[in-house]
């Protein structure tokens, strides 16, 4: 019974993937009449049409998404690891209040705070800019990174840090030379989770960058949809190409990612 249920669930999740893949290589006029049929004969015209658009929409969107995602997760990883180390190794009343404040940030949907965020970015003249979007990502996602790193750091023996302190190492040297190299599994988990979330984010780039000032890979898909006509083949090709960078990123870090999922489960 379990095998049958697992098979049915697998088929359920496979259907959208199948529909997307077959329609990438199918001629555009055949997609609407028979979206589930095999691409016979297969064609690369849809991918070519996306890559060779006169407005370079895909390439501009890809470049912006790479910049926003890489800078956001890089800054988030450093800040989250340092703050997580402080919270894991400090035990006082203010530490508990700070932890509670960060955890409460995980419960607030971004749509709730988007209006005040827009007001703040407009005040500091970062609205409709990539730095403004990066700043928003860092501020919103840092609680998740701190939560992951804090749990993992508590599983790292504190005796390693005490021995380094006795040898004369400063707190920053202890963190960067001893603690941070041990956080590779947790770092991979944070990079993958936050990378996928930021890469796939649609609403925040649409509002913060604005429809006419900039575009990411998700808003680029939205802009590729015309009001009165639509090339479904090119649309599926755009979505297919948009998933490749984050899929490659996951495959490169998957071994460390699996370790990071259970890294802080035995202590703390």
Residue 5 lies in a domain: no
Burial of 110 (0-12, 13-18, 19+ CB in 10 A): middle
Angle at 15 between CA 9 and CA 16, to 5 degrees: 115
Whole-model pTM: value is 0.85
Residue 66 lies in a domain: yes
Residue 75 lies in a domain: yes
Q: In which residue are the tokens 């979206």 written?
A: 35
199: CATH: 1.10.3720.10
The Cα-based distances of 226 to 58, 223, 234, 235 in angstroms read 15, 7, 12, 10
pLDDT at residue 250, as a whole number: 81
Residue 21 lies in a domain: no
pLDDT at residue 123, as a whole number: 92
Assign 3-class secondary structure to 53-79. CCCCHHHHHHHHHHHHHHHHHHHHHHH
pLDDT at residue 268, as a whole number: 42
Question: Mean pLDDT in each 10-residue stretch from start to end of the chain (268 residues)?
Answer: 84 84 85 82 88 89 93 94 88 80 82 88 90 92 90 85 86 87 87 91 89 79 72 87 88 68 48
Count up the domains in the chain and report the number.
Answer: 1
- Residue 107: CB atoms within 10 A of its CB come to 8
Residue 157 lies in a domain: yes
pLDDT at residue 265, as a whole number: 45
Tokens standing for residue 89: 């190794």
């Amino acid at each position: 019974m379990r095998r049958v249920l697992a098979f049915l669930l697998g088929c359920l999740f496979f259907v959208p993937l199948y529909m997307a893949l077959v329609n990438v290589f199918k001629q555009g006029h055949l997609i609407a009449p028979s979206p589930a049929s095999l691409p016979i004969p297969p064609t690369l015209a849809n991918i070519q049409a996306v890559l060779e658009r006169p407005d370079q929409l895909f390439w501009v969107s890809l470049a912006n998404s790479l910049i926003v995602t890489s800078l956001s997760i890089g800054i988030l990883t450093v800040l989250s690891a340092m703050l997580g180390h402080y919270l894991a190794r400090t035990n006082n009343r203010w530490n508990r209040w700070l932890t509670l404040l960060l955890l409460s940030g995980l419960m607030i949907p971004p749509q709730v705070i988007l209006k005040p965020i827009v007001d703040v970015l407009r005040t500091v003249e970062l609205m409709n800019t990539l730095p403004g979007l990066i700043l928003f990502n860092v501020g919103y996602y840092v609680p998740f990174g701190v939560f992951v790193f804090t749990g993992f750091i508590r599983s790292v023996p504190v005796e390693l840090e005490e021995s380094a302190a006795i040898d004369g190492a400063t707190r920053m040297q202890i963190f960067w030379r001893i603690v941070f190299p041990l956080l590779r599994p947790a770092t991979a988990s944070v990079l993958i989770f936050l990378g996928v979330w930021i890469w796939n984010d649609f609403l925040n780039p649409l509002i913060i960058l604005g429809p006419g000032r900039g575009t990411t890979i998700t808003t680029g898909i939205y802009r590729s949809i015309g009001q009165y006509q639509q090339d479904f083949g090119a649309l599926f090709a755009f979505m297919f190409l948009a998933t490749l960078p984050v899929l490659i990123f996951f495959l490169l870090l998957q071994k460390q990612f699996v370790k990071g999922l259970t890294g802080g489960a035995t202590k703390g």
